Amino acid sequence: MKITIVGYKKEERLSQGVANDEDTELISFLINKGLDIVPTIWNDKNVDWSSFDVAVIKSPWDYYNHLNEFLNWLGSLEKQGVKVLNPVEVIKWNSDKHYLKDIADKVFR
């Protein structure tokens, strides 16, 4: 099973104050467990997403700057039959921060 850990193109402004790169640590850990892990960048046009069985959406921290592109990319993963963890509908719901109002409405009725 070929698994990708999906991140973003590293930018200093998005990693300020980070003491260690947890993505690299996670990928090394999983590879050492014998898993076929490939790190990818979600908006890298050179990635053949259909070559993966599973995509773990780990840290695409810059998606909010490219929301429509990100949502289209998620849809393309589904069309290509790539299993996505968490479910795509949950990721889409979470990408629109209006969900915080939905939660507040339910909690503070």
Which domain range does residue 57 map to? Answer: 2-107
CA 83 to chain centre: 12
CA distance linking residue 89 with residue 55, whole number of Å: 14
Question: What is the Cα–Cα distance from 90 to 15, expressed in whole angstroms?
Answer: 25
Q: pTM for the full model?
A: 0.82
Euclidean distance between CA atoms 11 and 18, whole angstroms: 12
What's the CA gap between 3 and 54, in Å, rounded?
5
Confidence of residue 16 (pLDDT cuts 50, 70, 90): low
Output the domain CATH number for residue 8. Answer: 3.40.50.20
Helix (H, G, I), strand (E, B) or coil at 78: helix
Does position 17 have pLDDT exceeding 80, yes or no?
no
If you average pLDDT over residues 83-100, what whole number do you get? 89
Number of domains in the chain: 1
